[in-house]
Amino acid sequence: QSALTQPPSASGSPGQSVTISCTGTSSDVGAYNYVSWYQQHPGKAPKLMIFGVNNRPSGVPDRFSGSKSGNTASLTVSGLQPEDEADYYCTSSAGGSTLGVFGGGTKLTVL
Amino acid sequence: QLQLLESGPGLVKPSETLSLTCAVSGDSISSSNYYWGWIRLPPGKGLECIASIFSSGKTLYNPSLKSRVTMSIDMSKNQISLTLNSMTAADTGVYYCVRHGKLSGYVLDVWGPGTTVTVSS
């Protein structure tokens, strides 16, 4: 299973919106609604931000949203804040008792 | 509150075997709802799943690492373990213990703080 493709970097100014893409194939992202997104600050463990394409765990601000079209999933961060600067990873799985495959990660910079 | 805490040697010599342990507190690993597993982050690279184990002993392995990985579960100590043999510099990184739901589609909802592993002679 090949890694999912993410842009290495993205940026935006405070208050703006930024969208990070995650491209897979018809065998992973396109086949299942099991796409998750994780935020990782330097030196910290990753944190679940989105699961099941567009669901937010309790405590995640509604500025974070997810979507999917065909073989590409997207994470949108609206109303950018300085604390949103971090690495973001997507993952996709076939569901049930299967491991997932990660994207290479996107470094989001808040200008 | 569920917490995961990884422990390991920190430094491993090339060709040797890495052994890591993850102690789980705040929940029982015998739960029928979750897998417990490992993810790693090599320096300058992205996250990579390694393996997961269910309370029944059923294991899931990353095909690229399967030949070198063994996972085990110790109900009495409420912990899981990982061994990775034939270590090389490419195995250097931060290793995280994680939980994911049996039916949720690899949603990693709880992470340990991670333990750094360096492969060097």
| A45–B96 CB contact, under 8 Å | yes
Residue A106 predicted with pLDDT over 60: yes
- Beta strand B69-74 pairing with B79-84: antiparallel
| B46–A102 CB contact, under 8 Å | yes
At A95, the pLDDT band (50, 70, 90 cuts) reads confident
Question: For position B103, what pLDDT does the model report?
Answer: 79
Closest C-alpha among B24, B8, B30, B4 to residue B84: B8
For residues A38-43, give the mean pLDDT.
96
Average pLDDT along chain A: 94
| B114–A104 CB contact, under 8 Å | no
Residue ranges in chain B whose pLDDT is less than 70: none
| A99–B113 CB contact, under 8 Å | no
Residue A34 predicted with pLDDT over 60: yes
Residue of A6, A41, A97, A107 to mutate when probing chain B, most B C-beta within 10 A: A97
Question: For position A33, what pLDDT does the model report?
Answer: 93
Q: How far apart are CA B37 and CA A97, in angstroms?
A: 12
Q: In this complex, which of B47, B106, B113 lies closest to A34 when CB atoms are compared? A: B106
The three-class DSSP label of residue B68 is helix
For residues A21-43, give the mean pLDDT.
95
At A63, the pLDDT band (50, 70, 90 cuts) reads very high
Number of H helices, E strands in chain B: 0, 11
| A36–B46 CB contact, under 8 Å | no
Nearest residue in B to A2, CA atom: B64
DSSP assigned state of A4? B
Percentage of chain A lying above the pLDDT 90 cut:
90
At A1, the pLDDT band (50, 70, 90 cuts) reads low
Question: For position A3, what pLDDT does the model report?
Answer: 87
For residues A23-31, give the mean pLDDT.
93
Question: For position A2, what pLDDT does the model report?
Answer: 65
DSSP assigned state of A11? E
Residue A104 predicted with pLDDT over 80: yes
